[in-house]
Structure 1
Amino acid sequence: MKSLKGKEEAELTSKHASKAKPGKQAQSPAGEQDPQGSKWYTITVDHLRQGKNKVRTRLMLVIGSVAVAGGLVLAGNHYVTANTVPYYVVSVKGQAIGSILNKSELEQLFQQKRAAYQKKYPDASMVLNTNGITTTEEKAFKAQIDSQSTLKQLDKMLTAYAKGVEVTVGDTKIGVVKDQATIDSALKIVQKTYTQKAEAAAANMNKSSVKKLAQSYAYSKKVNKLESVKINQKVAANQIKANPQKLLSSKELAKVMLTGVEAPLKYNVREGDTISSIASSYDISQKEIFEHNPGIKETSLQIGDELTLTVPQPPITVTTVEDYSEQVVTEPDVEIRKSDNMRAGESKVISGGSQGLKRIDYRVVKENGQVLREEWVGQEVVKESSPKIIVKGTKVVVGEGSGNFIWPVSGATVTSPFGQRWGRMHKGIDMVGSSSVMAADDGFVTFAGTMTGYGNAIIIDHRNGYQTLYGHLSQIDVSSGTVVEKGQHIGVMGNTGHSFGTHLHFEVHSGGALQNPLSYLR
């Protein structure tokens, strides 16, 4: 700096010296300041100051420019931030379908859609299927979001299902309902239906309290009570996603339980069956029976014939137990008085006697309205009969009965009584007990062999106007033409012919007309 400063000062001195007037010395006395020297110094300093100011000015301009540029950057960043829009990309199963501004718009669409489906299917519990619908948050400068278009597209894609319960009986699926309450209601309808059927049958039975028939027997039936109604199968319920259009109401489910679907059924003709009674029992027309069984005729219908019936097969089996009683007229005991004045074989009635009355109690078990079995509970005498007195000659006629019958089986229990039984005629009574079968009275064996429907059978003529028949035997121990006595062993109880289990079928005929055996047995 010093050398630079000396150089500048020398240049300035030379310039000032050349400008001095001629003849004048530029020298000053020692110790005095030279006026020209002071001026030079002033110029030199000013010049230096001016240089420094220029540098300072230039520096300030640079700093100002940097500050302005920084301000512009900050202002720009603030503008961009202020105009950056957050939004949400909507995807269905990973595939983007559009964007929305707020998640609340999506939830509002869901609520509207749920309400619409519930309104369309008011009887179902509808669930909107939102699985696979996701949102991802994004941001963009001045983003243009069309929420309406996205929501409109999503609206078309939204589906719903109903909360359902699949109903199963055993291994068979019978329908889908809304909930367990619907199943419970349907089961109550089923039970009520069979209760009403039993009550209607009881009303019809009680309405005709006493009937007198041409065959000289009379009876009346009275249903005392419906003991129980029970659904045999287990009804299971499984939660599923269901089509709301296929949900069954409780009434519709009950109808399926009661009727099921039509399917062929093989039916074996029983004693007393007619086309009319079979049609009535299964609630079908006689025409349908004839159409499915070409060649069958009412007049040629035989016990054991197999018929094809196309009837509904309910998936549910309902067992009903009914208690009823039946009044039976009892014939008078026969009192025999012998007389030496009359020939053997001759007789005279001196007192006709009078009929009595007894009540027999039964329990009937039915499945889906069809009689499964009848159980004899007991009997009670309502009115005693007075005896019929007959005088007979003293000459003994071999094989002639007394007219008083004993039970042909020891410890007998009646399993099916006599008469019109649930739409068909039962010609005798069925009983179980000791396997040994006895003659009910003295008589003469007129038949011992196989009969259609009866299997192994025996017919005894008691030679007093009565005949008795013993059917379904497993063994015959007498032969035709044999004279038998009351209580004598004649065969063994069995299950031959048209029979459902081991039992004895017992009939009483008087003058060729059917009689109620319970009117004679003591």
Structure 2
Amino acid sequence: MTVHRHNNRKSKTGKGPKKPAPDTRLQDLNGKQQQAASWKSAVKGLLRKPVLLAGGALVLLSAAGLGGHYYVESNTVEYYYVYQDGAQLGTVHTPEAVEQLMEEKRKEASAANPGLKMALDAGELSYIKASGFKAKPETDATLDKLEDSITSHAVGVEVRVDGKLIGIAKDQQTADLVLKRVQSKYVPEKKAAANKVEVTALAYSSQPAAAASKTEVAEVAFVEEVELSSTKVSPGRIQDADTLYKRLVTGSAENTVYTVQEGDCIGCIADKFSISPQVIYQNNPWIKDDMIKVGDKLDLTVLEPQITVQTIENVTETETIEPTIIVQKNDEMREGERKTIREGVSGSKKVTYKLVKKNGYLMSEELVDEEIVKPAVPAIIMKGTKVVRGEGTGEFAWPVSGARLTSSYGPRWGRQHKGIDLVGNSSILAADDGVVEFAGTKNGLGKVVFIDHKNGYRTVYAHLDSINVSEGDIVEKGDKLGVMGNTGHSTGTHLHFEIHKDGKVQNPINYL
């Protein structure tokens, strides 16, 4: 029988198997590994010390760099280069220093010239910003240099008339007020606060009117071209409002004496010298009824202001309309007998004249409108059946076709105008039936025709160029008496027309 031995088995005695001896090679290996680990630790320790030293050095260097930067920055100064018209003037801490200097100079200029608008001449100023370490801008020196270069001037408004410099006002408002004052000098005084000016007008009729005359100023304007423009000027050339006003309205006057020539008349001379007939009458008060003769010396001196104000005035008057006469025939009444059946009642009408004046002098007048306010009631007269030729109706027609009134009845240039002046068709017509009382030439009236209307009325047709009737002729209303002319003491080609009633001169407008 085979017997198997188990090494692990216990001995009888109860003791286990004996432990083997340790392996010495393994121990050597473990020792070497421990030595190597200790050496690495030592090396790492030695390497760690230089790194710590270098880091400390870097920290110190960084701290020193930051401190230097802050030092430079805190000592860096900002400043500005100042340029005048592109040329470098100097340096300043800030542009506000320059602006402060400019403001002080403005105040000085204004204080030295109170009431004037002053401006500084300092050229074009510009700035360039700069900076530098511990920089020191030369502000005071730069401002002194700038101050030495600054000058001042006034800003005024030139007043020119047709390009000619009259004066310089301190501002636009002053110039405008002076010009308005000049215009007001020749505008009638206001009676009501309105855009239209109403005043008591000149009396165009010697007879009392039904209501006060009124003048409406339609236009006020300067004849010349007036120009206002801003300008740079020294303060001494600025004029105050009163001085400028006087320069505009005073002007100059040259003595002018004219010798009357053949064919001259007041109106002709006025036209020749472009003046108003009013000037001639004012300067020569010896003239009576427009009568002048060859060789007479006329003073035509007139003040000529620097500027001319033209006004257009519409003068409205209420005129009386004389009643017409209606004639009824009666076979039972003898020739020449008459009987009033109904008294006539006067009416009224508004008559408007257009007056053109220059610097207050009347240059022209024109009848522009008529408006019936109250119609006249005709008188009715009964007459004998035997009609006498040449006896008028008492109702007058215009003696000129297409008539235009150029001079009215009443005061004219300081004298009484006994009729009206008309222009229009050259044929002169009888205003009513009548008998030619005179046809010829009279002093002052030139070639003239008188018509007796055999009813208390008499009409006059003066300054004719030629006459078509003779004394004693019987004419009917509308018959041609002659041709319009400029004979006698006339102011130009026109008809001078008069109406007389019972020997007293009347205003023809009241009958036409």
Counterpart of 2:233? 242
Contact kept, 8 Å, 2:290 with 2:489, in 1: the verdict is no
Counterpart of 1:504? 495
C-alpha separation in 2, matches of 1:198 and 1:262: 30
CA offsets per residue over residues 411-444 of structure 1, 9 Å max, x none?
3333433223575433222333332211111222
Contact kept, 8 Å, 1:432 with 1:503, in 2: the verdict is yes
CA offsets per residue over residues 1-43 of structure 1, 9 Å max, x none?
xxxxxxxxxxxxxxxxxxxxxxxxxxxxxxxxxxxxxxxxxxx
Distance 1:198 1:484, change over 3 A: farther
How many residues end up aligned between the 2 structures? 401
Residue 387 of structure 1 pairs with residue 344 of structure 2: no
Aligned amino acid, residue 433 of structure 2 = D
Residue 203 of structure 1 pairs with residue 195 of structure 2: no
SS at match of 1:190: helix
Contact kept, 8 Å, 1:269 with 1:306, in 2: the verdict is no
Show structure 1 runs of 5+ residues with no match.
1-99, 132-146, 272-277
Counterpart of 2:467? 476
C-alpha separation in 2, matches of 1:487 and 1:233: 46
C-alpha separation in 2, matches of 1:470 and 1:198: 40
Residue 377 of structure 1 pairs with residue 368 of structure 2: yes
SS at match of 1:441: coil
Counterpart of 1:460? 451
Which residue of 423, 429, 434 corresponds with 1:438? 429
Counterpart of 1:365? 356
CA offsets per residue over residues 155-195 of structure 1, 9 Å max, x none?
9x997653444422115332222344433332233344444
C-alpha separation in 1, matches of 2:429 and 2:107: 81
Contact kept, 8 Å, 2:290 with 2:444, in 1: the verdict is no
Over the aligned positions, Cα root-mean-square deviation in angstroms equals: 5.1
Counterpart of 2:36? none
Which residue of 390, 403, 411 corresponds with 2:402? 411
Counterpart of 1:316? 307
Aligned amino acid, residue 461 of structure 1 = D
CA offsets per residue over residues 68-108 of structure 1, 9 Å max, x none?
xxxxxxxxxxxxxxxxxxxxxxxxxxxxxxxx999x99999
* Offset, 1:117: 4.4
Contact kept, 8 Å, 2:205 with 2:409, in 1: the verdict is no
C-alpha separation in 2, matches of 1:375 and 1:106: 69
Contact kept, 8 Å, 2:199 with 2:216, in 1: the verdict is no
Give TM-score, length-normalised by structure 2. 0.62
Counterpart of 1:425? 416
Aligned amino acid, residue 354 of structure 2 = R
Counterpart of 1:121? 113
Distance 1:492 1:309, change over 3 A: closer
Which residue of 371, 383, 402 corresponds with 2:393? 402
C-alpha separation in 1, matches of 2:495 and 2:362: 19
SS at match of 1:386: coil
Distance 1:414 1:173, change over 3 A: same
CA offsets per residue over residues 271-302 of structure 1, 9 Å max, x none?
9xxxxxx99x77x9x9xx6xx76xx6376873
C-alpha separation in 2, matches of 1:299 and 1:472: 17
Distance 1:499 1:317, change over 3 A: farther
Counterpart of 1:49? none
C-alpha separation in 1, matches of 2:99 and 2:376: 90
Distance 1:427 1:202, change over 3 A: farther
Aligned amino acid, residue 493 of structure 1 = M
Distance 1:503 1:297, change over 3 A: closer
Residue 347 of structure 1 pairs with residue 338 of structure 2: yes
Show structure 2 runs of 5+ residues with no match.
1-89, 124-139, 259-264, 269-274
CA offsets per residue over residues 376-431 of structure 1, 9 Å max, x none?
23322222222223333344444332322122122333343322357543322233
Contact kept, 8 Å, 2:116 with 2:170, in 1: the verdict is yes
* Offset, 1:361: 2.8
Residue 297 of structure 1 pairs with residue 286 of structure 2: yes
CA offsets per residue over residues 32-70 of structure 1, 9 Å max, x none?
xxxxxxxxxxxxxxxxxxxxxxxxxxxxxxxxxxxxxxx
SS at match of 1:463: coil
Distance 1:228 1:298, change over 3 A: closer
Counterpart of 2:166? 174
Counterpart of 2:505? 514
C-alpha separation in 1, matches of 2:91 and 2:316: 82
Counterpart of 2:38? none
C-alpha separation in 2, matches of 1:161 and 1:266: 48
Normalized per residue, the structure richer in helix is 1
SS at match of 2:174: helix
Counterpart of 2:251? 260
C-alpha separation in 2, matches of 1:395 and 1:165: 83
Distance 1:101 1:387, change over 3 A: closer
Residue 227 of structure 1 pairs with residue 218 of structure 2: yes
Counterpart of 1:59? none
Distance 1:265 1:388, change over 3 A: farther
C-alpha separation in 1, matches of 2:355 and 2:302: 23
* Offset, 1:232: 2.4
C-alpha separation in 2, matches of 1:430 and 1:299: 18
Identity percentage of aligned residues: 44
Contact kept, 8 Å, 1:198 with 1:226, in 2: the verdict is no
C-alpha separation in 2, matches of 1:244 and 1:497: 60
C-alpha separation in 2, matches of 1:489 and 1:516: 23
Distance 1:181 1:455, change over 3 A: farther
Distance 1:120 1:388, change over 3 A: same
Contact kept, 8 Å, 2:437 with 2:451, in 1: the verdict is yes
* Offset, 1:510: 1.3
Contact kept, 8 Å, 1:202 with 1:222, in 2: the verdict is no
Listed as ranges, the matches of 1:141-180 within 5 Å are 161-180=153-172
Stretch of structure 1 that moved more, 487-496 or 220-229: 220-229
SS at match of 1:119: helix
Contact kept, 8 Å, 2:399 with 2:429, in 1: the verdict is yes
Contact kept, 8 Å, 1:270 with 1:498, in 2: the verdict is no
* Offset, 1:356: 1.7
Contact kept, 8 Å, 1:167 with 1:236, in 2: the verdict is yes
Contact kept, 8 Å, 1:338 with 1:394, in 2: the verdict is yes
Contact kept, 8 Å, 1:211 with 1:220, in 2: the verdict is no
Which residue of 430, 440, 445 corresponds with 1:449? 440
